[in-house]
Structure 1
Amino acid sequence: MSTALVLLFLLALAALPGAMLPQRNLNVQKVSQYIAAQPTLGPLFDKLELFDVFSSFWFTAIYVLLFLSLIALRSQPVRAPRNLSRLPHHFHGVVDISHDEALTRVRQSLKGWRVAVRSEKDSEVSVSAEKGYLREAGNLVFHFSLIGLLVTVAIGKLVGYEGSVIVIADGGPGFCNTSPAVYDSFRAGSATDGTGLAPFCIKVNDFSADYLDTGQAEMFTSNISYQSGQDIATNTWKDYRLRVNEPLRTDGARVYLTGHGYAPQFTVTFPDGQSRTETMQFQPDDAVTFLSSGALRFDPPGGSFPNPDERRKNQIAIEGLFAPTASFSGTLLTSSFPDARDPAVAIDIYKGDTGLDTGIPQSIFSLNKEMINQGRLVKQDRVNLRPGETRTLTDGTQVRFDGAKEFANLQVSYDPVQQWVLVFAVTMMLGLLISLVIRRRRMWVRLRPGAGPEQVDLELGGLARTDHAGWGGEFDDLREKLVADQRSSPPMRVSM
């Protein structure tokens, strides 16, 4: 039990980094930001798996050891202490009955107790007895419920999965849970390869946030439409109001609203009059004012230039800041409030090869600096724009800021054993309550041969494992049963 308590304390201690540091399964962006902001500690923490605490090898090792330490069958009552006189309740005397009769009387008096009889040296016999079965049952329920909780959590980690996806809140196509490829980040259990996902589709129709005067978010709400099961075959959509801590539950999965941000929209009109419009989410750099940064890339429409090389050299890229409520200090853009009261952008406009067709992965929030350093992507202008404003480049290309849409960050979690986690958590608390309320008592009896053949040296010791009134009286009753109608020689000694 002491080992289990130590491991339980270590498990609680090991969970602290998971509460203090961003976790990769919840927010990959925050983990990346932390590593970038802490170039020394960040990589070290990453190697120690402090950003993946609950799936790390050391956290797993602790709860596996806890699991093993709790697998123990009920043991017999402990052996009688060497010196029973040191116990809180004690009796010592000589009884004029045979050894066998004394042992029989002890067994009868301790009916209802858990009893173990042991032979000791010099023909001594000791009887160990315990009472308080409900307390023991509570302990067992608590222990096995804790084992069940650990097992179900482990199973959930094996067969479950979590995915995060950003969806523009404009009633667009949304996403369908058909493949890990539809998610921005996806973490599958060891026994899950990401195939065979239960199909369902979600469209985010709108998003609204309630803010306090200080700018602190009070509540996020998003009206969504979804379809699952037979709804997909009939193309039937159901409506649901998604809020923080009020997930959508469908096909065994839970869909949470975990955050939001802004997706600025730009329209680039090329010299031949053809245009492209892109909406791309920006990364919130300030969690209070939602000053955000990001980048967009525009490939000229077909026929705009005579050959692919010329077309590649005339791609347009935009990188900069977005402020939902703009505040300018000279030309420096900041945001004073997280709601979109007066949106504006401060952007750098580039022309050249953005690297769209190189096959090299790029961040959606920043441009490829190597392209800029090599002169393949050249800055054309730096400008501040509000919705509807346009900047024209020297070659006649026009860049217009159309405004910004909000996006919702959705997390899809699948854990088929979550109900069992709840069941074991409830039974664990019930077992703990029982073990705290029910009292547990121990009694030891030591029988030694007396001076004569029909005499027994009888010694009793009692111990209450918890401090409850009434145990002294119960000890006296047991003593009276053992020595009832018996003459003692020498006089009996009782200590309480």
Structure 2
Amino acid sequence: MGTALVLLFLLALGAVPGAMLPQRSLNAGKVDEYLAQHPTVGPWLDRLEMFDVFSSFWFTAIYVLLFVSLVGCLTPRMIEHVRTLGAVPVPAPRNLARLPKHAAGTAAGDPEQVAATVTRRLRGWRTVTRPDGDGVTVSAEKGYLREFGNIVFHVALLGLLAAVAVGKLVGYEGNVIVIADGGPGFCSASPAAFDSFRAGNTVDGTSLNPICIRVNDFEAKYLSSGQALSYAADIDYQTGADLADGTWQPYRLEVNHPLRVGGDRIYLQGHGYAPTFTVRFPDGQQRSQTVQWRPDVQTTLLSSGVVRIDPPAGTYPDPVQRRKHQIAIQGLLAPTKELDGTLLTSSSPEARDPAVAIDIYRGDTGLDTGRPQSIFDLDVRMIEQGRLIKVNRKNLSAGQSVTLEDGSVITFDGVTPFVNLQVSHDPAQIWVLVSAMAMMAGLLVSLLVRRRRVWARIEPATDRPGTVNVELGGLARTDNSGWGDEFERLTKHLLADTGSPGDRKTR
């Protein structure tokens, strides 16, 4: 058991870097940022898998060794406990006066009658009566459930470790941003539908539980400080047979009240705003786009992001010219406008008076290069190479427009809330809960139940015919706390109303 305790300590110690350092499974961007800021230490930490702690070789090794150690500890203890279940209490020691707790007294009756009375009053104790010369001894013991509680606790801990491991193998977790108020929604048919997706080692993405969700409405309540008090989304979802017949089921999704369907749990994790921009090109054709922007200040939801708009095909028939006339809009979004001169900030997370401060670029935004790029930031290399040229900078409120030198008109139409949903699939979660509850139950039993042994030697009194001498001895097998008072109460109970009051001495 000492080895298991050391390994458990190492497991807890090994989890510390996972809490202190950014993890790729949660935010790969933060890891890249950390590596850029720490060019010396970062690569060494990466080699030691400090950014993938919970899937690293060393953390897995500790986990497996702890599992093996617990099995090795529990197997002999369980065998020994099964043997003790049918064991009878040990015979009384020859000299009960040498035990830590001792009492003596007299009682009316013969030894067999008094022994029967003592045994009857030891309800809940495992007892056995044995002849002892001219008298009788009664051996009693209780607290066998203490070891049972210990075993249950450790077996449940073993089950918890196994359930967590199974969940990591066969579970998956995906995050997706969905535009509210009639946005396109999403369907979890494949990992490509998610903005980020983390799969277990045995998940290849071909057998995800299909579910479609659309967000009809979003409601948020805030304190005067800007802190979110509550938020909820009215959604419709399809799964199973609903996908075939086109039926949508309504549900009100709230924080800590996930939608549970088909073995999946859909959580509402966060929200923000997606601005809508409309670009009318010189030939009169126009395009609109609504893209989520990243909240940078959580108390006011001041956000930043980028919108990239490709001209309609007929506006610039030449692909090269079309690529040179793509529009990129980068800037800040304030749900409730507050200006310090021309500096835009937000005074509230509620969309009372939305406004944007934007830089407008024309040129190659990289939409057709095939290279992945951030949806929140422009590629700085494009600007440095002159492929993207800033043509204007403007503050706009909802409904306002700005006209570029070529006649293109850019309009800020307003904002639409978006929600961040997490789809989590972990079939072993119920076993994690069961194991955790069993651990608590086993721990309570092992703490509350105490092992106790009591012996009574009953012999005929030679100087008083019709009476017997009763000698009691007690021993605490585990915890001595409170055993003195408990033994005194037990002595009074066993010798109460046994006939002649006699003399009683307790130590």
Show the counterpart of 2:332. 321
CA deviation vs aligned residue, 1:346-386 (integer Å, no higher than 9, x gap): 11101111111111211111111111111111110111111
CA gap of 1:285–1:397, structure 2 versus 1, over 3 A, is same
CA gap of 1:353–1:24, structure 2 versus 1, over 3 A, is same
Please give the secondary structure, in 1, of the residue aligned with 2:431. Answer: helix
Please give the secondary structure, in 2, of the residue aligned with 1:354. Answer: coil
- Contact 1:28/1:185, CA 8 A, preserved across alignment: no
Q: CA deviation at 1:472?
A: 6.8
Show the counterpart of 1:7. 7
For residues 33 and 215 of structure 2, the distance between their equivalents in structure 1, rounded to whole angstroms, comes to: 27
Show the counterpart of 1:358. 369
Residues 55-204 of structure 1 aligned to structure 2 (within 5 Å): 55-71=55-71, 72=74, 73-74=76-77, 89=100, 132-204=143-215
For residues 29 and 343 of structure 1, the distance between their equivalents in structure 2, rounded to whole angstroms, comes to: 28
CA gap of 1:42–1:130, structure 2 versus 1, over 3 A, is farther
For residues 21 and 243 of structure 1, the distance between their equivalents in structure 2, rounded to whole angstroms, comes to: 30
CA gap of 1:88–1:259, structure 2 versus 1, over 3 A, is farther
What amino acid maps onto 1:7 in structure 2? L
Q: Does 1:464 align with 2:477?
A: yes
CA gap of 1:29–1:410, structure 2 versus 1, over 3 A, is farther
Q: CA deviation at 1:461?
A: 11
Residues 348-427 of structure 1 aligned to structure 2 (within 5 Å): 348-427=359-438
Show the counterpart of 2:122. none
Q: CA deviation at 1:392?
A: 0.7
For residues 56 and 373 of structure 2, the distance between their equivalents in structure 1, rounded to whole angstroms, comes to: 28
Residues 323-342 of structure 1 aligned to structure 2 (within 5 Å): 323-342=334-353
Q: CA deviation at 1:172?
A: 2.4
Q: CA deviation at 1:61?
A: 3.1
**Residue 269 of structure 2: which of 258, 270, 276 is its match?**
258
CA gap of 1:262–1:28, structure 2 versus 1, over 3 A, is farther
**What is the count of residue pairs matched by the alignment?**
425
For residues 441 and 63 of structure 1, the distance between their equivalents in structure 2, rounded to whole angstroms, comes to: 37
- Contact 1:88/1:463, CA 8 A, preserved across alignment: no
- Contact 2:101/2:487, CA 8 A, preserved across alignment: no
CA deviation vs aligned residue, 1:149-177 (integer Å, no higher than 9, x gap): 11011000000000000010122221111
For residues 475 and 178 of structure 1, the distance between their equivalents in structure 2, rounded to whole angstroms, comes to: 68
Q: CA deviation at 1:53?
A: 4.1
Q: CA deviation at 1:12?
A: 3.7
CA deviation vs aligned residue, 1:433-475 (integer Å, no higher than 9, x gap): 11111113589xxxxxxxxxxxxxxxx9966321351687899
What amino acid maps onto 1:201 in structure 2? C
**Residue 231 of structure 1: which of 231, 235, 242 is its match?**
242
Please give the secondary structure, in 1, of the residue aligned with 2:438. Answer: helix
Q: CA deviation at 1:21?
A: 5.5
- Contact 2:476/2:483, CA 8 A, preserved across alignment: no
Unaligned runs of 5+ in 2: 82-97, 103-124, 128-139, 455-472, 492-506
Please give the secondary structure, in 2, of the residue aligned with 1:285. Answer: strand
For residues 195 and 353 of structure 1, the distance between their equivalents in structure 2, rounded to whole angstroms, comes to: 36
Identity in percent? 62
Please give the secondary structure, in 1, of the residue aligned with 2:201. Answer: coil
For residues 476 and 65 of structure 2, the distance between their equivalents in structure 1, rounded to whole angstroms, comes to: 32
CA gap of 1:335–1:28, structure 2 versus 1, over 3 A, is farther
Unaligned runs of 5+ in 1: 78-86, 92-110, 114-128, 444-459, 477-495
Show the counterpart of 1:205. 216
Q: CA deviation at 1:14?
A: 3.9
For residues 220 and 327 of structure 2, the distance between their equivalents in structure 1, rounded to whole angstroms, comes to: 33
CA gap of 1:372–1:227, structure 2 versus 1, over 3 A, is same
Please give the secondary structure, in 2, of the residue aligned with 1:151. Answer: helix
Q: CA deviation at 1:46?
A: 5.5
Please give the secondary structure, in 2, of the residue aligned with 1:289. Answer: coil
- Contact 2:231/2:255, CA 8 A, preserved across alignment: yes
For residues 37 and 215 of structure 1, the distance between their equivalents in structure 2, rounded to whole angstroms, comes to: 31
For residues 40 and 223 of structure 2, the distance between their equivalents in structure 1, rounded to whole angstroms, comes to: 36
Q: Does 1:282 align with 2:326?
A: no
CA gap of 1:264–1:198, structure 2 versus 1, over 3 A, is same
For residues 146 and 361 of structure 1, the distance between their equivalents in structure 2, rounded to whole angstroms, comes to: 43
TM-score by length of 2: 0.75
Show the counterpart of 2:89. none
For residues 332 and 41 of structure 1, the distance between their equivalents in structure 2, rounded to whole angstroms, comes to: 38
Q: CA deviation at 1:337?
A: 1.5
What amino acid maps onto 1:287 in structure 2? Q
